[in-house]
Structure 1
Amino acid sequence: MNSLLDRALKYRTSRRGFLGLTAAGVATAALVGEQLVPAWPERRQASAETEGKWVTAACWHNCGGRCLNKALVKDGMVIRQKTDDTHPDSPDYPQQRACARGRSQRQQVLGADRLKYPMKRKHWEPGGGNKELRGRDEWVRISWDEALDIVASEIKRIKEKYGNESIMAFGSEIGRTLSLYGGYVSVWGSTSYGTWLETGPRIGLSSGNHVNDRMDMRKTQLLILWGANPAWSSAGLPTYNYLQVKKAGARVITIDPLFNETARVLADEWIPIRPGTDHALALGLAHTLLVEDDPETNPLIDWDFLHRCTVGFDKDHMPPGADPKENFKDYLLGTYDGQPKDAEWASEICGVKADRIRQLAREIGGTERVSLLVSWAPARGNNLDSWPQALMALGAMSGHMGRPGSMTGVCTHSGASNNGPSLVRAGGNGLPNIANPVKLRLNHNEHWTAVLEGKYMAGKGPGVTEPVNIQMIYHAGSSALNQKPGLVRGVAAHRKVEFVVAHHYALNTSAKYADVVLPITTEWERAGTLLSGNREILIWAQHVIDPLFEAKSDMWIAVELAKRLGLNAEEVCPISEEQQLFNRLAGAQVLKEDGKTWEKLLTITAEDIAEMGVEGEPQTGRITLAEFREKGIYQVPRRPGDNYEYVHLAEFRQDPEKHPLNTTSGKLEIYCQAIADHVRNCGWSEISPIPKYNRPTEGYEDTFADWEKKIKGDYPLQLYTIHYPRRSHSVFDNVPWLREAFPQEFIMNPVDAEARGIKDGDIVKISSRHGTVIRPVYLTERIMPGVVTLGEGAWADIDDETGIDKAGATNTLNGAIPTGQGHAGWNTCNVQVERYDGPLPPDHTWPQRVIF
């Protein structure tokens, strides 16, 4: 590291580089940290030629944006960053501009808290030693040989004593080694998608995005953003694309518990709604369409589309063998259960006034071109398996599917505002798959409980459990402890098993509770990769700097462990990282202007192949490899009316018999026995084949001790968790710039605060049935009364004496509650809030987790 130190000392340091550092950490910070990213205002006019070389750097985090991020490298160090300036910006051909997270990435990669060396717990010994010290023990620096020997020895010992089904692993590369060594227990369940993961494909949509592209969306007249806030969650182009829809004349309505940042830019109207009650609102809207529709004087329902393209709406359009009484129309009318799902019924649950529900239904049904767009967020709740089906039924009734400017469905993540097949795509890396021979999988709502209680739901029907004995937890490039539900139980599970190992570049929550921690490289320190943030771009994220300290790649670790386990390392990784990159480059394709045929993206010469030191054949493509390396991005030019426009379900709508969907009936299934059977077989709960309202677990109704008498209970407020600009999930939470710019504040309505004697800026204690956190409170009327929110992803910091998490990790509050198809229920959680009298300094002033 002497050369790195020499280079670092050439540069002036920034004041902010030392924020949050302890006196013990300052010496380390001089080696690697934010202070290596100087401000230098007097030098900002200097040219890149004199300061260094701009290199396209990976912004590899899972926000959905994946924008263009460039690093200025001089003497092997990153001294500045910028974003897309490869072409003039315009609505049709926009620049791929990075957000605050991407622009702060120097502090992530070059942070003072980068893990430098392999290390183990001071009081660890084979079998665990004092396992209660996990999370608070001292760390001891060890060599790579010792670290790998320990990990390999524990894998062997635990396999021999308990079998492969005692090893639970998170991560991809290490899974290759463990699979060759007999396998491991994997984890399943929907995290981002919520109930869309399994419901979507079975009812005729998909788990991902299923709406039209950005050019077609400009034709819409009414844009409804339901539970979506891309300005924070997918910060890049989505909000800008929606702005073009608004400028083209669309009226914009947002439906959300919070008047969020996207609404502040776009909304003509905000409709507040209680978390987990979107299903009730959809049913109230559908009921209004049904009872107010008159084909002659007030046409609100597209009966042609409904009858041709769906099954299950009424008794005359049921699938074979289904009970004709179990149709959606009679359920809406309350024909058999005596309860019409009218606007008054829906209003009592969701909090939207009945008159506004009726008016919104008239707007949806009476407007020719509507974009009814939802994020995955409303589906991330306990017992909400029928919600996607209810939304689909609403879109089918109003006919807003398969037509230009008219669409219904998920529009989020990398497809937010711009869905459709990719126009440019990378090739495969050529790395062969390795099957995991262990078939036992644990749902992420029960894996910590399975560790603690020794049993899990077997997926063989209601109540059927089987024994399990997890004795090793392997975190490889993940943040599972922090990011899966039930963090408090997760900590207990980590203190029960015999061995825990983690790979990471900093001491995140999973690493903090491990026995052995292996420092890994970031994408900036690897050979490079190809990334895509939307259908129109391909980014070549390149090697930026050499690995810092003793950091190694996850694949290197997997290979070295394979050797110690007596495996053939060539089977784990038969292809070098450089060759994998070349394979992806050589296989990259771009769609021609006809919108039908593909061509090679890159011209690659024999000289290019020799320079990269890989094997391959020269080829001819649209642009040269050198041009792609220089720009770092290829973006397909767009214009209105081009052959790249995409209308989802257009062919199906035109001829459902000739273009059937991949469902049992080949149509959109308002009655779907397949999803009802799947939910039942998971074993936790049951749903109807039609989208009946299911009361969420820890939803609005559970804020009452007595729902009928409206007597509030011990946890009277609804907490839902949001994506926050400080982080992409848990990534970036350790970055001082972002901590200072975006405090981890608890958001609350003044009405609820006044009833509790709470003032803006107070420290409050938030308690659920599962855990407790403390946070400063931000009071605003932008959130509806009775609802509170907190940004997900903060790195937990739990006091073992009090059990209080001062960092405000939302999974400390969220319980692991398995329901339905095993999705995570982060947006249905009940809490109580009270003023906290203890101190809590701003977290950007906290000491960083600097080790050695």
Structure 2
Amino acid sequence: MTTYTAAHWGVYEVEPSAAEGPRIRPVAGDPDPSSIGLHQLDPALNRTRVRRPAVRKSWLEHGPGARTDLRGREPFVEVDWDRALDLVAAELQRVRTRYGNAAIFGGSYGWASAGRFHHAQSQVHRFLNTIGGYVRHLNSYSLGAAHVILPHVVATMTDLQHMHTSWDVMAEHTELFVTFGGVPAKNAQMAPGGSGLHRVPEGLRRMQKAGVRFVNIGPVDDNLETGGDHEWIPARPNSDVAMMLGLAWTLVDRGLCDRAFLASHCVGFERFERYLTGTEDGIAKTPAWAEALCGVPAERIEALAVEMAGARTMLNVAWSLQRAHHGEQPFWMVITLAAMLGQIGLPGGGFGVGYGAMNTLGSPHRRLSGPRLDQGRNAVDAFIPVARIADLLLHPGETFPYDGVDRTYPDIHLVYWAGGNPYHHHQDLNRMERAWQKPDTIVVNEQCWTATAKRADVVFPATTGLERDDISYATQEGLLVATKQVVPPFAEARHDFDIFCGLAERMGVAEAFTEGRDAEAWIRHIYEDCRERWDKAGVDIPDFDTFWEKGLVDLDKDAGPVIMLSEFRSDPEANPLKTPSGKLELFSEEIESFGYADCPGHATWMAPCEWLGAEQAHAFPLHLISDQPARKLHSQLDDSAYSRKGKVGGREPLLIHPDDAVRRGIAAGDVVEVFNGRGRCLAAAVPSEDIMPGVVRMSTGAWYDPDPETGLERHGNPNVLTLDIGTSSLSQGCAAHTCLVDVRGPVNEPAPVRAFEAPELISGDDL
């Protein structure tokens, strides 16, 4: 009987133990398996692991709040588990008693584990709820703007992800696929609860073979691979809305709008049209107007609009477009443009918000809610949009707008982080460093000595997904997996569940947290709960013992073609959307009523605070794109041999146009300094024609490695440069892709990278 395990990058078959230890290989039938996950057993990864509970020296000696300026700069004292658990339980009780539970921030952002029980986010939130609650976060760095704008316009982002037109339908019916920001298959190597069979590269190839024509609009061209030719239209970063408005103006001017669809399925087009034609503000959004902003010739904009109207057209926007200042606008505008074409709900037509962003989008599988751990009820009402963590810590008591309501930042004294690495996800890390000094105490459950762990006060060593049993399932991935333990826990690492059991016992809430179950009983319980829910949905799966022995449930028999919003199209009255009007809201009275100058009532072009058309471009003439990496998930497995092979001289590559490199005297492989007013980092230059002049790209994921004396980041982490502001008053999402920089070099004798080194460790026995 085959043994399986699963991770974000796919499902794996486990080869029996040999002299060199167990090995994993992709599950049979995966057409495009990801190489990332095959390196989870790389022995080199153990060099960065946390071996024992560790406490920052000043915090241990002088108590909470001691020398917070030394976080990331001083030794840790390794202690036994009982002492570490006693310390943290006492500190949690102190903060609750003195300040209340609203002084605790339950940080858990990142993909953590693909397993549904040993999922750090669920575990930490359940534990904190059993002791009275915590301040939480909403939404995600990836989709902060989309999560808030889309329910006003069409549907929640979560709902849309699960109804995207499937790849087989597009191969049969789509004639023209126009994508703003490409279809980056590197991002689609994974899914949050674990990928099933990787479908994106094969889906693109099938469409190409069927004769679909592809047009890729944006500053880079290597984010779309179809197995054949496609057209690349270079466009300035953050200018997509301007180009879409030029396309929309042409549809109106040429009489190519589907006004019947706009009247029957949409509200507010008349208000938007007054803006588009200039009746409202005196500025017609013509292709010539758009050219001045996006750099695309007016003639090509006009011709493309005609081509779109004359073919079955799918419009797509990458998630990166809404990770920018005014990031709500490109998603709203692409829906508006698709509505004007009138093809929403038709096979192969309409829009997509993120094909290629992860494996799930375009799946033919049913949406089913999988096994889940009940997190309980949070008695604390306060929350923040996830990307506002530095604001929360720096500005307690201040108000911030969010989706029509003014809210207040609580005063945080303790941060408990499990499953994630804020020093990967957050922007303007020099500002984050200042914010991170504010809490009295930071506790982290972590597998490795990441930058976050090095900046904690107490670090509990946690197990990896290969070191425990679990169940993996991501809705619409088509596989339910009995994820078996492959290797024993490293050193003294414990499961998050066991860590919280230890804390719960000390705080008198063990029964509430465990409900009398150990980990094995919980895994059985959440499976049987899932089985009961699926049975009501007409999906039959075996009992737990049979499932655990078999190891895999294939849900392919329940798959079928998917056409986004087809039922809404066929009868909008019988199948209304969940918007206030029940229709597509091209103008939103609700958003208009909020009175936000940075997010008016319809899709609008607003110049971002930093872009190539801004005054700052004279000082910092390059626009930095910080996209997702190809050889790791966020920062996970950056220390693997596979990730390191993608670096140049141990640093992250910086893609730069040859003309920009020559102008600066930079050659391939040179170590260069990328800088702006927020920070500086080193990277390795890679000249390429795949990026337009005036733009550079440095992928995220390099473990943060600042020189403690100069602040120079040595490894190539772009988030020392990115902008830490909200996308708008509506969503307060992440605006990382609004960022101007310059590059200088080559750098002689650059400082060595030390990102993967553990901090100095002192044995508690020596104190």
With normalisation by structure 1, the TM-score equals 0.80
Partners of 2:459 and 2:520 lie apart in 1 by: 26
Give matches, 1:338-737, under 5 Å: 338-367=282-311, 369-412=312-355, 418-419=361-362, 422-423=365-366, 425=368, 427-429=370-372, 431-459=373-401, 466=408, 468-532=410-474, 534-572=476-514, 574-586=516-528, 598-602=538-542, 608=545, 625=547, 628-629=550-551, 632=552, 634-636=554-556, 644-677=560-593, 680=596, 685-702=597-614, 704-705=615-616, 712-737=617-642
1:762 to 663, 670, 677: 670
Partners of 2:394 and 2:360 lie apart in 1 by: 43
User: SS of the residue aligned with 2:186?
Assistant: helix
Amino acid at match of 1:481: Y
1:246 aligns with 2:168: no
Shift of 1:694: 1.7
Partners of 1:391 and 1:371 lie apart in 2 by: 10
1:99 to 34, 56, 65: 34
User: Could you say if the C-alpha distance between residues 425 and 414 of structure 1 is closer, same or farther in structure 2, counting changes exceeding 3 Å?
Assistant: farther
Corresponding residue for residue 174 of structure 1? 124
8 Å CA contact retained: 2:423, 2:704: no
User: Could you say if the C-alpha distance between residues 224 and 679 of structure 1 is closer, same or farther in structure 2, counting changes exceeding 3 Å?
Assistant: farther
User: SS of the residue aligned with 2:105?
Assistant: strand
Shift of 1:270: 0.9
User: Could you say if the C-alpha distance between residues 78 and 435 of structure 1 is closer, same or farther in structure 2, counting changes exceeding 3 Å?
Assistant: farther
Cα deviations by residue, 1:790-847 (Å, 9 ceiling, x for unpaired): 111211001122111112222211121122311101111111211152434786x976
Corresponding residue for residue 269 of structure 1? 231
Amino acid at match of 1:602: P
1:831 aligns with 2:754: no
Cα deviations by residue, 1:321-350 (Å, 9 ceiling, x for unpaired): xxxxxx111211111311110111111111
8 Å CA contact retained: 1:277, 1:700: no
Shift of 1:355: 1.2
- RCO (CA 8 Å, sep 6+): is it higher in 1 or 2? 2
1:127 aligns with 2:71: no
8 Å CA contact retained: 1:590, 1:598: no
Corresponding residue for residue 57 of structure 1? 5
User: SS of the residue aligned with 1:254?
Assistant: strand
8 Å CA contact retained: 1:216, 1:645: yes
User: Could you say if the C-alpha distance between residues 304 and 248 of structure 1 is closer, same or farther in structure 2, counting changes exceeding 3 Å?
Assistant: same
User: SS of the residue aligned with 1:241?
Assistant: helix
Shift of 1:587: 5.1
User: Could you say if the C-alpha distance between residues 211 and 453 of structure 1 is closer, same or farther in structure 2, counting changes exceeding 3 Å?
Assistant: closer
**Which is worse superposed, 182-191 or 517-526?**
182-191
1:793 aligns with 2:701: yes
Shift of 1:666: 0.9
Corresponding residue for residue 822 of structure 1? 732
Amino acid at match of 2:284: P
Amino acid at match of 2:253: V
Amino acid at match of 1:715: F
Amino acid at match of 2:741: V
**Which is worse superposed, 239-248 or 468-477?**
468-477
User: SS of the residue aligned with 1:202?
Assistant: helix
Partners of 2:19 and 2:369 lie apart in 1 by: 28
User: Could you say if the C-alpha distance between residues 461 and 691 of structure 1 is closer, same or farther in structure 2, counting changes exceeding 3 Å?
Assistant: closer
Shift of 1:591: 13
User: SS of the residue aligned with 1:328?
Assistant: helix
1:211 aligns with 2:167: no
8 Å CA contact retained: 2:620, 2:742: yes
Shift of 1:150: 1.2
User: SS of the residue aligned with 1:433?
Assistant: coil
Q: How many residues align?
A: 729
Corresponding residue for residue 278 of structure 1? 240
Shift of 1:113: 1.9
Cα deviations by residue, 1:597-624 (Å, 9 ceiling, x for unpaired): 72312256xxx3xxxxxxxxxxxxxxx5
Partners of 1:460 and 1:252 lie apart in 2 by: 37
Give the unaligned 5+ runs of structure 1. 1-52, 61-65, 90-94, 294-299, 315-326, 609-623, 706-711
Give the unaligned 5+ runs of structure 2. 109-120, 190-197, 762-767
Partners of 1:566 and 1:591 lie apart in 2 by: 33
Shift of 1:434: 1.6
Corresponding residue for residue 118 of structure 2? none
8 Å CA contact retained: 2:177, 2:314: yes
Partners of 2:505 and 2:262 lie apart in 1 by: 60
Corresponding residue for residue 309 of structure 1? 265
User: Could you say if the C-alpha distance between residues 847 and 551 of structure 1 is closer, same or farther in structure 2, counting changes exceeding 3 Å?
Assistant: closer
Q: CA RMSD in A?
A: 2.9
Shift of 1:245: 0.9
Shift of 1:788: 1.0
User: Could you say if the C-alpha distance between residues 742 and 588 of structure 1 is closer, same or farther in structure 2, counting changes exceeding 3 Å?
Assistant: farther
User: Could you say if the C-alpha distance between residues 359 and 552 of structure 1 is closer, same or farther in structure 2, counting changes exceeding 3 Å?
Assistant: same
User: Could you say if the C-alpha distance between residues 579 and 392 of structure 1 is closer, same or farther in structure 2, counting changes exceeding 3 Å?
Assistant: same
Corresponding residue for residue 145 of structure 1? 82
8 Å CA contact retained: 1:176, 1:572: no
Partners of 1:174 and 1:68 lie apart in 2 by: 26
1:808 aligns with 2:716: yes
Give matches, 1:9-158, under 5 Å: 55-60=3-8, 66-74=9-17, 78-85=21-28, 89=29, 95=30, 97-107=32-42, 111-124=46-59, 125-158=62-95
Cα deviations by residue, 1:31-74 (Å, 9 ceiling, x for unpaired): xxxxxxxxxxxxxxxxxxxxxx96312213xxxxx422233241
Corresponding residue for residue 297 of structure 1? none
8 Å CA contact retained: 2:404, 2:591: no
Shift of 1:742: 4.3
8 Å CA contact retained: 2:423, 2:452: yes
Corresponding residue for residue 191 of structure 1? 141
User: Could you say if the C-alpha distance between residues 728 and 456 of structure 1 is closer, same or farther in structure 2, counting changes exceeding 3 Å?
Assistant: farther
Cα deviations by residue, 1:345-399 (Å, 9 ceiling, x for unpaired): 11111121111111111111111x1121222111111122222111111001112
Shift of 1:403: 0.8
Corresponding residue for residue 277 of structure 2? 333
8 Å CA contact retained: 1:481, 1:491: no
Amino acid at match of 1:652: F
1:782 to 677, 681, 690: 690
User: Could you say if the C-alpha distance between residues 603 and 190 of structure 1 is closer, same or farther in structure 2, counting changes exceeding 3 Å?
Assistant: closer
Cα deviations by residue, 1:127-179 (Å, 9 ceiling, x for unpaired): 23222221021222110011111111222223333332222221332222222
With normalisation by structure 2, the TM-score equals 0.89
Percent of aligned pairs sharing the same letter: 29
Shift of 1:761: 1.7
Shift of 1:661: 0.9
Shift of 1:446: 3.4
Partners of 2:212 and 2:432 lie apart in 1 by: 47
